[in-house]
Amino acid sequence: MHIRDLPYADPGEPDTRSGPRFLLWLGRNQLGGQLRSLSWGLLHFLGIAALPYTVGLAVQAVVDGSGTRLAVSGGVILLAGVAVALGDTMLHRTAVTNWITAAARTQQLLARKTAVLGAALTRRVAAGEVVAVSTADVEKIGWFVEALSRFAAAALTVLAVCVGLLVYQPALGVIVAIGVPVLPLAVLPLLPRATRRADVQREKAGRATELASDTVAGLRVLRGIGGEDLFLDRYRRASQEVRTAAVRSARMWAVISATQVLLPGLLLVALVWYGVHLAGEGRITVGELVTVYSAVMLLNYPLRHFEEIAMAYSFSRPSAKRAARVLSLERTLETTPERRPEPTSGRKPEPTSGRKPERTLERVPGRTSKRIPEQASARAPAQASARMSERALARADGSPSGGTQDEPAVPAGDLQDPATGLLAPAGRLTAVVCGDPDAAGRLAERLGGHPAFEEAAGLPSVRLGGVPLDDLPLDIARTAVLVQDKDPVLLSGTLRALLDVPASGAVSPQRALAAAQCGDVLDALVQGSVGDDPMDARLTERGRSLSGGQRQRLALARSLVTDPEALVLDEPTSAVDSHTEARIADGLRELRAGRTTVVLTSSPLLLDRADRVVFLHDGEVTAVGEHRELIVTEPRYRAVVTRETDQEAATPAAAAAAGPPAEVARPSEHDDDPRKVRVPDIAPDIHTDIEESA
């Protein structure tokens, strides 16, 4: 793998059972790069190890007065120097390549997991931890992968030198063979304590990062309540804890480094003392003594890599553990597997009661099985954009939308959930009211067709036009169905970039912004920018410079621009006023005419504009009809929509007073004050005038 080939077409499926297993998996995936780095490392270290022998030969040649042997020794020294220079250069090149490719693989895996989990990621892991894993932890993991091949080359070199000295000069070679292994083994008792201190430092640094991230995210609220100083003091304390932990960790590593200097020095003293004694007795020559002394002295260089690999592993192990934890996260659906409710109205799904769906986790290559979404997430947006453009061209010439000969067509038609009995007819605006507040979010995620939900709960797949979504390649499924979360995220950048999403081309950004009632948002963006074009105005991170309602409307406009076959909106107007909500409902109904749209909401305004209202209670469809009909005939529906209390529902007079549904007054084209609209509030026959303040 070369750097120019990044990013990976498929980063693979990591082993996330533990941090060490994840590191081992990274090493196996870089086996070729590690072998190249090991080869160049051996050339570098063996060149260094050869220098003492050649220097000893040169010294002995001078003592003996042999010019020929001195010339030969000089030539060997030159070759060893070339080997050292070439090996060092290529070792650095290959080791850094291993570092970058390992870091890139890890970051790709994290990005893919983030794309698969979406908003569920920050509900499972703190945002600060995600930031720490994708930045500092990736560097530590890459450091260990880089140092691994250098350590292996150094270990093999030390072994070769010890064996060579035993053969060259057994009397001194025995001391080297016994003393050198003791040098790295002597620091082993210190490593557990150093590792624990390093873990504490990384943990405190992660907490400080989380605190900083959360503080920045809530800075606007903190300024509103005057809490900046409180959180600043809290971050100062966390920062000081990180500093203290770092100093404690550095002290232990300083002791290890000092040990690595002291013990080789003692070995050299003992070796020189014994070698001089042997030379005085005539048992060894001066050249042999110089050779052994130089070899042991130069062994300090490869031995330093034992300390480096210990430090790299100590720092990378907790980092790999955190990365493995994030990469092991899976989305789950909190639904009882045994439950197979049948719909009470509309089309019935295929019978599934009493048996599990006939499908496995690993199905057909290219399908949205449990593993495939992660592998395809990196390339899905571009493919989806191209495919949606093909659909736009097909609509322009009147031909039906379809795929190529090798890929299935993008399905269209009814959006059906067999598990709940929900049926959203094609080309209709269907509003869904859930009795359980948490059920709406789970239903929205399920309608997205992510196979992890069906596999985890054993539920049948959501169908679009009779086609199960998990039978489609992921990019086709994402093209067909778009789910807008209750809390959509706006990334920093220009408004033009925000709306530059994979789209069919049938809906322009201007039409989408108008339907989402973003006129005041555009005015605010123009006032805060240097240009006159609101499309070039910049948005801050997560749109923090805008109000909640403005962010919500921009997110809705982004979803409308995409123009998918089926659009699922989860509470798209919960942060806007009633007057704006009424206009959004009309704009949504007009823009999505002829397209399948599902809105999860309890807003009477949106419900009144819907073609079809579906009420879900305890995970199954209990009523289907129009809003004005259901609010009279279905008490549970009325309790959810009107926020009716149990006491009011139990009062017979309240039910009798409801009477027939009253007509809702809407602003007409000839209304002198179009800002005034009458909307249902507590009951259909009780109306409140809502007038937007000037």
Instruction: List pLDDT tens digits, range 333-385.
Output: 443 343 334 433 343 444 333 333 333 333 333 333 333 333 333 333 444 44
Over residues 445-472, the mean pLDDT reads: 71
Does some domain include residue 222?
no
* Of the candidates 593, 543, 586, the residue with the CA atom closest to the CA atom of residue 567: 593
Name the more confident of 611 and 195. 611
Q: Of the candidates 291, 308, 327, which is a domain's last residue? A: 327
Instruction: List pLDDT tens digits, range 579-638.
Output: 899 999 999 999 998 889 999 998 998 999 999 999 998 888 999 999 999 999 999 898
We report the CATH number of the domain holding residue 453 as 3.40.50.300
**Are 381 and 318 contained in the same domain?**
no
Does some domain include residue 3?
no
Which tokens go with 35? 């072998």
Helix, strand, or coil (residue 285) = coil
d(CA 88, CA 47): 10
Name the more confident of 461 and 381. 461
We report the CATH number of the domain holding residue 103 as 1.20.1560.10
Instruction: List pLDDT tens digits, range 1-46.
Output: 567 677 888 888 888 888 888 988 988 888 888 899 999 989 988 8
Residue 189, phi then psi, degrees to nearest 5: -60, -25
How high is the pLDDT of residue 504? 80
**Are 463 and 608 contained in the same domain?**
yes
Does some domain include residue 153?
yes
Does some domain include residue 145?
yes
**Are 263 and 386 contained in the same domain?**
no
* Of the candidates 58, 59, 48, 37, the residue with the CA atom closest to the CA atom of residue 82: 48
Name the more confident of 510 and 350. 510
Residue with tokens 């002295």: 297
DSSP state of 134: I
**Are 300 and 380 contained in the same domain?**
no
**Are 301 and 399 contained in the same domain?**
no
Name the more confident of 450 and 110. 110
Does some domain include residue 631?
yes
Does some domain include residue 350?
no
d(CA 301, CA 489): 51
Q: State what percent of residues in the chain have pLDDT above 90.
A: 12
Over residues 443-454, the mean pLDDT reads: 65
Instruction: List pLDDT tens digits, range 141-151.
Output: 888 888 888 88
Neighbours of 277 (CB within 10 A): 11
* Of the candidates 572, 403, 554, 387, the residue with the CA atom closest to the CA atom of residue 483: 572
Over residues 495-518, the mean pLDDT reads: 89
Does some domain include residue 88?
yes
Kindly tell me if the per-residue pLDDT of 468 is higher than 50.
yes
* Of the candidates 186, 189, 188, 184, the residue with the CA atom closest to the CA atom of residue 299: 184
**Are 419 and 552 contained in the same domain?**
yes
Neighbours of 181 (CB within 10 A): 13
**Are 565 and 625 contained in the same domain?**
yes
Over residues 386-399, the mean pLDDT reads: 43
How high is the pLDDT of residue 216? 67
d(CA 110, CA 108): 5
Residue with tokens 């960790």: 249
How high is the pLDDT of residue 390? 47
- 20 forms beta bridges with none
How high is the pLDDT of residue 312? 83
Q: Of the candidates 305, 327, 349, which is a domain's last residue? A: 327
Check: CB of residue 341 under 8 Å from CB of residue 619: yes
Domain interval for residue 287: 13-202+248-327
- 445 forms beta bridges with none
**What are the DSSP E strand ranges found in 456-572?**
463-464, 467-468, 481-484, 493-494, 538-539, 566-570
**Are 279 and 381 contained in the same domain?**
no
What are the percentages of helix, strand and coil residues in the chain, rounded to 5?
60, 10, 30
Total number of domains in the chain: 2
Q: What is the mean pLDDT of the chain?
A: 75
Lowest mean pLDDT among 88-97, 296-305, 454-463: 454-463
**Are 272 and 421 contained in the same domain?**
no
Neighbours of 523 (CB within 10 A): 11
Q: Give the containing element (helix H, strand E) for 553.
A: helix 548-562
**Are 314 and 444 contained in the same domain?**
no
How high is the pLDDT of residue 353? 38
d(CA 334, CA 329): 15
Instruction: List pLDDT tens digits, range 248-265.
Output: 988 988 888 888 778 888
**Are 495 and 626 contained in the same domain?**
yes
**Are 187 and 261 contained in the same domain?**
yes
Residues 6+ apart with CB under 8 A from 91: 37, 40, 41, 43, 44, 150, 153
